[in-house]
């Protein structure tokens, strides 16, 4: 799922870090590494209809994914598909996953959500052996830096795990109001990467392969104006669920008890 913006305005904010040239990776390597942290999410709404979006794995031991709130809404569950290797290649046909949903689909429980930041945390029942956690960038990206994205915008075209690349245009606080009345107010990464509906919740990474934003929406006023929820918002959102030592989003302790902001346990 992906959202088109009806109206918005923003205030400039900043946080920058130069990328050492020695740390950069080739694009195919970034894609393969990020793919192992990416999932296809299909949510069926009780009110009728469904959405197709993307999720990003941030903790292996606790089996936690982060996605956009608008991908799961107020539903308690979503179905999660990780890339499946068939004959040594990643299967990209969504129909294959639909036909084999009993084997490949995993139950994802929505543990926590933040409408204002358009973020949600999902705990999947089981992870495939090849799943890898994605590292969280320490700081926001700088304008002009590369951004690489993976998403599932190709469902209607018969393909999953699409790759997109662009540059960071700016990082700033932005207020958004969508056609359904959902209001978002968060620090956003603006990019010209050609992300489209279905990519929502997917990872945007820098040249190191670190998560710098989560794909979120596009602006109708600009064909190449796209947005991702910035890493600063992601870090704030996931902080209660990751151990203090997990500065980069490394797997947490499997014994960690997940609670919401009121202290109520949410992993049961």
Q: pLDDT 10s per residue in the chain (268 long)? A: 555 554 333 322 222 233 344 345 678 999 999 999 999 999 999 888 888 999 999 999 999 999 999 999 999 999 999 999 888 789 999 999 999 999 999 999 999 999 999 999 999 999 998 899 999 999 999 999 999 999 999 999 999 999 999 999 999 999 998 888 889 999 999 999 988 888 999 999 999 999 999 999 877 666 688 999 999 999 999 998 876 544 444 433 333 344 444 334 343 3
Find out whether 187 and 171 touch, Cβ atoms under 8 Å: yes
**Could you tell me the fold of the domain covering 37-133?**
Thrombin, subunit H (2.40.10)
Find out whether 230 and 212 touch, Cβ atoms under 8 Å: yes
What residues are paired with 110 via a beta bridge?
Answer: 122
pTM of the model: 0.81
Cβ-based neighbours of 128, under 8 Å, separated by 6 or more: 82, 84
Find out whether 113 and 260 touch, Cβ atoms under 8 Å: no
pLDDT at 23: 45
Bridge-based pairing of strands 211-219 and 3-5 is: parallel
Largest CA distance in the chain: 51
Given CATH 2.40.10.10, say whether it is the number of domain 3-30+134-235. yes
pLDDT at 179: 83
Rg (Cα) of the chain, in Å, rounded?
Answer: 17
**Separation CA 230–CA 244 (nearest Å):** 20
CA geometry: angle 231, 167, 232, nearest 5 deg: 10
**Separation CA 18–CA 21 (nearest Å):** 9
CA geometry: angle 223, 161, 183, nearest 5 deg: 50
pLDDT at 1: 55
- Stretch(es) of the chain classified as CATH 2.40.10.10: 3-30+134-235, 37-133
pLDDT at 247: 43
pLDDT at 87: 81
């Amino acid at each position: 799922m992906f959202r088109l913006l009806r109206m918005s305005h923003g205030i400039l904010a900043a946080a920058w870090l130069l990328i050492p040239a020695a740390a950069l990776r080739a694009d195919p390597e970034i894609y393969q590494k990020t793919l192992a942290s990416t999932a296809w999410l299909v949510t069926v709404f009780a009110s009728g209809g469904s959405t197709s979006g993307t999720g990003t794995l941030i903790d292996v031991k606790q089996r936690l994914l982060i996605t956009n709130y608008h991908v799961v809404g107020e539903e308690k569950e979503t179905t999660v598909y990780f890339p499946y290797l068939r004959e040594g290649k990643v299967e990209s046909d969504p129909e294959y996953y639909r036909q084999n949903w009993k084997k490949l689909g995993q139950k994802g429980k929505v543990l926590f959500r933040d409408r204002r930041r358009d973020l949600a945390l999902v705990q999947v029942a089981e992870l495939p052996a090849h799943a890898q956690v994605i590292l969280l960038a320490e700081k926001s990206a700088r304008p002009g830096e590369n951004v690489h994205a993976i998403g599932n915008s190709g469902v209607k075209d018969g393909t999953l795990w699409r790759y997109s690349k662009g540059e960071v245009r700016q990082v700033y606080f932005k207020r958004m109001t969508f056609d359904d009345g959902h209001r978002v107010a968060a620090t956003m990464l603006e990019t010209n990467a050609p992300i489209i509906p279905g990519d929502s919740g997917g990872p945007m990474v820098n040249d190191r392969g670190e998560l710098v934003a989560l794909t979120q929406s596009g602006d109708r006023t600009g064909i190449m104006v796209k947005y991702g929820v910035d890493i600063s918002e992601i870090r704030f959102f996931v902080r209660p669920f990751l151990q203090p030592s997990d500065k980069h989003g490394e797997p947490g302790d499997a014994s960690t008890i997940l609670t919401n902001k009121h202290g109520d346990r949410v992993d049961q």
